[in-house]
Amino acid sequence: MNRANFVCGAIGVAVGGGAYFRTSDFPADVVMKIGPAFFPSMLAGGLMLSSAALMVIAAMEAAQPAAPDAEAEPFRLSLGDGRVRAVVTTLAVLAFTLVLVPLGFIPTSVIFLLAMMALLGVRRPLLMAATSVGVTLGIWLIFEKLLVLTLPAGILESVLY
């Protein structure tokens, strides 16, 4: 059995089933035969059917041989493991979003870039500083001055405006 595909199919069935269940609360339209529930319930049915098909195919498939890539390697809880770096990157974007408005775009972006470059193995402080400040200011100038789209100033509000 292809376990990954089987699980993906099961998730699809669950999502489709949940959406289908949800549409039962939508009001019916007596004039046009189809109301707000018609399309979503039909699509939820399609998602469930195609997901069930994937589950059946996965169940009939032979087990997949272990891929000779990182996935086959034992998991290590260190930044040397690519999967850990991906999780840390996701958390870093989450942290960026959380502090974007209170701290402001410029300080948040500089700190984020420094941290991310360190995470990905850059060990030259001058290069890191120049890149993080340069990229941040470049993006800020494009959005603020060229496109006139205001980015959160945060703690630098009195300095910038």
Residues near other proteins, by CB under 8 A: 4-5, 8-9, 12, 15-16, 19, 22-23, 26-27, 29, 31-36, 39-40, 43-44, 46-47, 50-51, 53-54, 57, 70, 82-83, 85-86, 89-90, 93-94, 96-97, 100-101, 105, 109, 112-113, 116-117, 119-122, 127, 131, 135-136, 139, 142-143, 147-151
Rounded CA separation 53/12 (Å) = 10
The encoded tokens of residue 48 equal 């469930």
Lookup: tokens for 140: 């800020």
Q: Closest separation between CB of residue 44 and other proteins, Å? A: 6
Q: Using the minimum distance from each CB to other proteins, give the nearer residue, 1 or 127.
A: 127
Distance of alpha carbon 38 from the chain centroid: 30
In the bound state with other proteins, the residue whose beta carbon lies nearer, of 30 and 159, is 30
Minimum distance between the CB of residue 33 and other proteins, rounded to whole angstroms? Answer: 4
Cβ-contact 3, 57 below 8 angstroms: no
Cα–Cα dist 40/16, whole Å: 9
Tell me the closest approach of the beta carbon of residue 142 to other proteins, in angstroms. 7
Residue 55, Cβ neighbours under 10 Å: how many?
20
